[in-house]
Amino acid sequence: MIFWHILVLTYTIEGRTFESKVALRDQPSCAKFMDAIYPVIYAEYRDSMAQCIKTDEASGWTVRPKARP
């Protein structure tokens, strides 16, 4: 089963912390997106972090079994 992942980007500007969240379909997509966006953020804001958090919501095939005749 595949679960949604949330990419959390956190950074601080002049003592104020900002957080952004992006929902992605699976872990590889989240990691790929993080690898693309985080270096840009880090170059501008050294006090920053990015992480992929797995949710409990399925993004792949259904959880329920298929109906049988």
Whole-number average pLDDT of the chain? 89
Q: Write 21-29 long-range contacts (CB < 8 A, 24+).
A: 24/52, 25/59, 26/2, 26/59, 26/60, 27/52, 27/54, 29/5
Predicted confidence at residue 61, as pLDDT, reads 63
> Would you say 64 and 6 are in contact if contact means Cβ atoms under 8 Å apart?
no
pLDDT per position as a tens digit, 7-39: 999 999 999 999 999 999 989 999 999 999 999
CA distances from 63 to 22, 54, 60, 66 (A): 23, 17, 9, 9
